[in-house]
Amino acid sequence: MTRLSRRIFVLSGLAAAGAAVTPWQGDRAAVPYPFKLGVASGDPASDSVVLWTRLAPSPLNADGQGGMANADVTVEWQVSTTDRFSSLVASGSVVARYADAHSVHVVAGGLAADSDYYYRFRAQGQISPVGRTRTAPAPGTFGRDMAFASCAHYEAGYYTAYRRMAEENPGLILHLGDYIYEGGVNTSAVRQHVGAEIVSLADYRRRYALYARSTCACSATAHPATS
């Protein structure tokens, strides 16, 4: 399976044609909400996109495991042409493994070129926010405008530009780097990193969670799922 590139994001198993869709139900009280880091999509092709999420009810835990127990978890996913998910164009399930900090990457295929889609996940009786994604144009054709971001230093400011990007609805957003910064806390900065300079795998997972959580909060590219 293609690994999701951290530099390319789209602001945001096949279901049989005409199959009936059973609406997902969520049990908000069953376990702590695991989709605190939201959802994302990227690596668009003309007929597929990569979908991402990570189960992390406590994203900034020092062990890098996001507050999840030492067990693998099955995660279901759906793709639809509408945000009500009245009909599906792709769906399936994937295992979020403890060894991977319960992150998942799904290649959703069989999609139409240069088209908008909605996607969501379900795990542990909880439903993720709904993300919006778009496939790449067909080979040899042109798509819509694109935007780019770079040098997203958490301590240097706030991510309000991401909200404007989402409002302008470009066809593609490229992140040219750096997406995270590795230094420790700068007490004179606008806001502070969590923890010291990152050196371990747990440190990196925690730092990525910090940046992803802040990006999700500021961009407003997803909205609560309907059940």
> Quick one: three-class SS letters along 139-183?
CCCCCCCEEEECCCCHHHCCCHHHHHHHHHCCCEEEECCCCCCCC
pTM: 0.82
The per-residue pLDDT for range 169-225, each reduced to its tens digit, is 888 888 898 999 999 999 999 999 999 999 999 999 999 999 998 887 655 443 333
Between 89 and 161, residue with greater pLDDT: 89
Beta bridge partners of 8: 174
Q: List CB contacts of 61: < 8 A, sequence separation 6 or more.
A: 67, 206
> CA–CA separation, 120 vs 185, rounded Å?
34
The per-residue pLDDT for range 60-97, each reduced to its tens digit, is 999 999 999 999 999 999 999 999 999 999 999 999 99
